[in-house]
Structure 1
């Protein structure tokens, strides 16, 4: 099995016109999808957006495109799948039994493959507060909005990758700013839930970070960066 790329927390420069830390397969799929999705308000977000901003270098299996426009997911879905198919990719829609009626208005997930590799492409609706940054891959979610949505994700799901990304954000933003951005995006975040996320990190075994290529020194640095997080 191919070893996931080693994570580099930080590095890069915000506003870089040419995306540097993204695999060609991911770059091509994202560029094609954004080429037809941009007019529906879609921007690149999620883990790949963190990569292209130079914040982290870590393994990801998804491309996440977000729009803040009602009805845009359904409107763009056919165009995106047709464009990817025309480019030679195999595209299959993923449907889960847990999806509620009407959920497909704001969420579509696709399996995209080139015969050797595959990824999950997600089209979904998510509010944002800042205009996107234009990069060679297409419009990319503004770093403020990336940080805000990532902190909200960390509080709600506590995935290892979320801790990695938030620790990287703290190299550029003070903790107070990070939390303020998250609250501005999601005013339902409760202080106790934020503190729970900090306490959960304290219980996480260092080995959980190994899948993302972090060794003992990198994990120690991450924990140090997140030490001021509320507990």
Structure 2
């Protein structure tokens, strides 16, 4: 499995969240449960269900690619699972230890790769598979969380804003593929608005320059079928030109 360097945490989420009158500690009951996406591996789905049965998981929310897959917003695979909490830093240590203990009871193996007070990354092996699990302290969700079949996750619109910020900050191949799908679903202006709401340092002009980095990527680096690549390049070329003209 491809290893990635530890991410910088938190990622551009410094503005205090506006609390929703319905409360953010529980999923929005009007949504109903969402079936887990087919892109989650058996080990990922089992780990998610196991984690969210633990008392120490209270206050954690599924984020990142796992949350996108759980809500069928993308279909590409992901290497890791991301859990965010707005609780005190010791919540990360308690939750990661509880997950390691529960995994051991199932005969799975875990190894901590990095651990500080607000972040833990562990490697988990089981069911003839392996994944990375990240637990981190971050700002609370700005929108009500969503109940999925594998546990609470960030709202799709908030995930879309976070993913655009990922492209803004690093512009990796998977970011282009994901943002394209999300922008097609929710609209460019909505993603821009959500990103600016999450990160006050978000700059559309810088985003345009990051989008131009797609020109440096080889077609084989993009997690897409070959026939879909020209459309992706055209889409971001047009969007970058639009941002540069504003």
The TM-score by the shorter chain falls in which range?
0.7 to 0.9
Aligned-pair CA distance for 1:37: 6.2
- Does residue 111 in structure 1 map to residue 116 in structure 2? no
Is there any run of 5+ residues in structure 2 with no aligned partner, and where? 2-30
Deviations 1:80-120 (A, max 9, x none): 2212222221011113xxxxxxx712110011001622111
**Counterpart of 2:232?**
222
1:55–1:38 CA distance, 2 compared to 1 (3 A): farther
- Does residue 91 in structure 1 map to residue 110 in structure 2? yes
**Counterpart of 2:87?**
69
CA RMSD of aligned residues (A): 2.2
- Does residue 169 in structure 1 map to residue 179 in structure 2? no
Pairing partner for 1:160 from 173, 186, 191? 173
Count of residues paired in the alignment: 209
Are the aligned partners of 1:91 and 1:113 in contact in 2 as well (CA < 8 Å)?
Answer: yes
**Counterpart of 1:18?**
35
Aligned-pair CA distance for 1:126: 2.5
**Counterpart of 2:195?**
182
**Counterpart of 1:46?**
64
Q: Please, what TM-score do these two structures have when normalized by structure 1?
A: 0.82
Are the aligned partners of 1:170 and 1:225 in contact in 2 as well (CA < 8 Å)?
Answer: no
Aligned-pair CA distance for 1:60: 1.5
Are the aligned partners of 1:66 and 1:125 in contact in 2 as well (CA < 8 Å)?
Answer: yes
Deviations 1:156-207 (A, max 9, x none): 1111011111011012111111011011111112233211111112332222
Q: Please, what TM-score do these two structures have when normalized by structure 2?
A: 0.78
> In structure 2, how many angstroms separate the alpha carbons of the residues matched to 1:28 and 1:37?
17
